[in-house]
Structure 1
Amino acid sequence: MATRGRKPKPTAIKELEGNPGKRALNEKEPKPEKKAPRCPTWLEPEAKKEWKRLAKQLEHLGILTEVDMASFAGYCQAYARWKEAEEFISKHGTIVKTPSGYWQQVPQVSIAQTYMKAMNKFSEQFGLTPSSRSRLSIDNGSEAYDPMEKMLRVVDK
């Protein structure tokens, strides 16, 4: 059965956004440990580099958890394959002349576009795009991030 409407946002993302809709958060949502999963051994080398580049940062934000391995691996693998296709295009160009004399687009153009779309979908889930990140606000526990504390400091001066 198909569902309608927007996909619900994870509570961790809503909390980082400051719950702009002010709707009650799902108190019964499963809360996996905020710990990055181990990097899968089967990822391509470039995907492993991307995993290592982002995993700790997303773990620190509370976005990447132990149960997110498959989704994050999907992002990293899509990134690696997109990069490979883009490197091919940079080296060989986007079109080639066929043996019969016709000009044809190299398959890597559509491959790059396909993996870019997949990367973008995964990226939005983890707050990795500028627009999805702009809706997040990080509270690192210091009073500098407390709006009331900030306001009181201004009044005191």
Structure 2
Amino acid sequence: MANINLLNDEKQKTSNEDNAQRQDALKELFNHQDFSMTEPPAFMPTAAKDEWHRLLPILKKDFPMSETDYGNFVAYCLAFARIKQAEHEIKKYGTFQNNKDGSKRENPAVRTQSRAMHDLKAASTALGMTMVERQKMALNKAKAEPERDPFAELMNDE
């Protein structure tokens, strides 16, 4: 029996048994305790809370969000808020700042924003929110659907 990988990108035919296992595995994604938090944690800054409220209904509708996704979702919202705050600082003080001796240095907000963008990408990938991850899910959903067999349909119509 083959090892069923939901995110397998290989273009190969699979047996009915493999398709059944894939369907069971897809259903299992929805068997975890639902993501019950409707309000963001109190420690979050306003921009993170706003992103939480904007994104949570979309994610709960389109993805099998569960309690196990809580940490990644918090990380995503916090990274989003840091990006926004860093951009405000960059607009206010510029990408480069002058030192006392007249030389220039990079605004520390540029590095903060870059790290936050990296964190946001990691959290969004973990949550299945990137185009690549959504494409993999759609591909696997299509693969999991059994192929139409006209001969079998003809035999069953008797």
TM exceeding 0.5: yes
The CA RMSD over aligned residues, in Å, is 3.4
Residue of structure 2 equivalent to 1:74: 75
Bigger fraction of residues in helix: 2
Instruction: Map 1:1-157 to 2 at 5 A.
Output: 14=6, 20=9, 24-25=21-22, 31-38=31-38, 39-137=40-138
1:80-110: per-residue Cα shift (whole Å, max 9, x none)? 0111101211232110111111111110010
Residue of structure 1 equivalent to 2:142: none
For residue 131 of structure 2, what is the amino acid of its counterpart?
P
Moved segments of 4+, more than 6 Å: 146-149
1:36 deviates by 4.5
The answer to whether the 8 A contact 2:35-2:70 is kept is no
1:45-95: per-residue Cα shift (whole Å, max 9, x none)? 100111111111111123321332222111101110111101211232110
Instruction: Count how many residue pairs are aligned between Structure 1 and Structure 2.
Output: 131
For residue 86 of structure 1, what is the amino acid of its counterpart?
E
Helix, strand or coil for the counterpart of 2:48?
helix
If the length of structure 1 is used for normalisation, what is the TM-score? 0.67
Highest CA radius of gyration, 1 or 2? 2
Helix, strand or coil for the counterpart of 1:136?
helix
Question: Which ranges of structure 1 fall in alignment gaps of 5 or more residues?
Answer: 1-10, 139-145, 153-157
1:29 deviates by 7.6
Question: Which ranges of structure 2 fall in alignment gaps of 5 or more residues?
Answer: 140-144, 151-158
1:113 deviates by 0.6
Helix, strand or coil for the counterpart of 1:96?
strand
